[in-house]
Amino acid sequence: MRPVEISDGIFWIGAVDWNRRNFHGYSKSSLGTTYNNFLIMDEKVTLVDTVAEEFWGTLKCNLAQVLGDEQKIDYFVVNHLEPDHAGCLALAIEKYRPEKIFTSPMGEKAMKAHFHYTDWPVEVVPTGTEISLGKRSLQFIETRMLHWPDSMLTYCPENKIAFTNDAFGQNWATSERWADEVDRHTLEALMQDYYANIVLPYSPVVLKTLKALGEMNLDIQTICPDHGLLFRGDDIQWVLDKYVALAEQKPKNKAVIVYDTMWHSTEKMAQAVATGLADEGVSVRLMSMKSNHHSEVMAEVYDAAAVIVGSPTHNNGILPLMADMMTYMKGLRPQNKIGAAIGSFGWSGECVKVLTKWLEDMGMDVLAPVKVKHIPDHDALNQCYEQGKAIAAAIKEKLG
């Protein structure tokens, strides 16, 4: 895609990764992603972030188009060192030899550890630092843990633009650049997916940061995340409100049953629990780990009031795909959940004990498990159905 002038003298010069399906090596990005970065044409020409290294050719081409006759960049701003944003940093520094490179205090540490440089002209810009580019200025605000300790936001008051890096991002490869040009339902779903899989553990920091930003009374007319669509006009308040709601993690009348199964006994139990929940009016997602990626499950777990986890006993533990799911879920620290375990067994039967421990470790309100020897009969399936109804009652009480 060609550069787009998103505000007077400020250009989107990013890369669209149409074929990206494995985001950061652990999360599924079914619709690709973008690496947004920006060029500010002022007395001091300034590059805000770069793109993933494999798109260096795209970035060079976009830069060449905007820079024109004078192929010179004076300043680099590095909002975040993760390689999807700083992947071309060393190559760009070598090519353009910037006068200064601005990054946060933690950014400097990360930059050294990533690039092992000795002579880069790095200038640390803690929160509150302001620099002049000529007609414009830039203000820097650290946004630690959104999504790494080094993350920061860059604000240009003259153009009323906030370059927010990972915050407000979505994985969506599109030819459009603005959120008001695409389907809103898809945008919301992808923003939730990104939040649930990337930002979720840092929700308390998100709320604190958004509150602090609000108190700064910045006049923001454009929000530019480094992934996906950009926001303008009425979408500014919409996306700020949306992010507060995402961070608050208010559960819906919804349950996710995630399971793996060997000879379909645990699967039959999961289906019976689902029926009990559905009969009580709870919206249910029944997700086999053989058919769903852990990040797809997490996007559904995110706003569910209850999570039911199922596995047969396998080698005194649980099946590997469920071990993966529980590890992934625990790391993302979902809040405000009811939990319950189900599973079949042949002889030792540790499955529900192991699963229940995971749920307790995540701070969920854990209900009694159901365990069935070998193949569930009618009575056992009825027990699962009743468990579904009991979980539905707990959801009702929780949601008030």
Give the residues lining the site for ligand FEO (CB under 6 A).
Answer: 80, 82, 84-85, 147-148, 166, 226-227
* 227 token code pair: 């992934």
Nearer to ligand FEO, 84 or 300 (CB): 84
Catalytic annotation on 84?
yes
Nearer to ligand FEO, 86 or 370 (CB): 86
Helix pair 203-215, 235-248: axis angle to 10 deg? 140
CB of 70 to ligand FEO, least distance (A): 30
Catalytic annotation on 241?
no
Nearer to ligand FEO, 15 or 390 (CB): 15
Could you give the CA distance from residue 306 to residue 300 in angstroms, rounded to a whole number?
Answer: 11
Nearer to ligand FEO, 80 or 268 (CB): 80
Q: Give me the DSSP letters along 131-170.
A: EE-SS-EEEEEE-TTSSSTT-EEEEETTTTEEEEETTT--
Could you give the CA distance from residue 154 to residue 104 in angstroms, rounded to a whole number?
Answer: 10
CB of 92 to ligand FEO, least distance (A): 17
Catalytic annotation on 193?
no
* 35 token code pair: 């690496």
List 194, 243, 259, 328, catalytic entry = 194
List 35, 49, 80, 150, catalytic entry = 80
Catalytic annotation on 296?
no
H-type alpha helices, the chain: 56-67, 83-86, 89-96, 105-115, 184-194, 203-215, 235-248, 265-279, 294-301, 320-332, 351-361, 378-399
CB of 85 to ligand FEO, least distance (A): 6
Catalytic annotation on 80?
yes
List 42, 49, 84, 142, catalytic entry = 84
Comparing every residue's Cβ against ligand FEO, the nearest one is: 82
List 42, 49, 166, 226, catalytic entry = 166
List 17, 82, 150, 226, catalytic entry = 82
CB of 185 to ligand FEO, least distance (A): 23
- Residues with Cβ within 8 Å of residue 230, at least 6 apart in sequence: 6, 12, 36, 177, 178, 179, 222, 223, 224
Nearer to ligand FEO, 24 or 398 (CB): 24
Catalytic annotation on 82?
yes
- HSE of 275 in the Cβ direction (CA atoms, 13 Å)? 12
Query: Mind telling me the catalytic residues?
Result: 24, 80, 82, 84, 147, 166, 194, 227
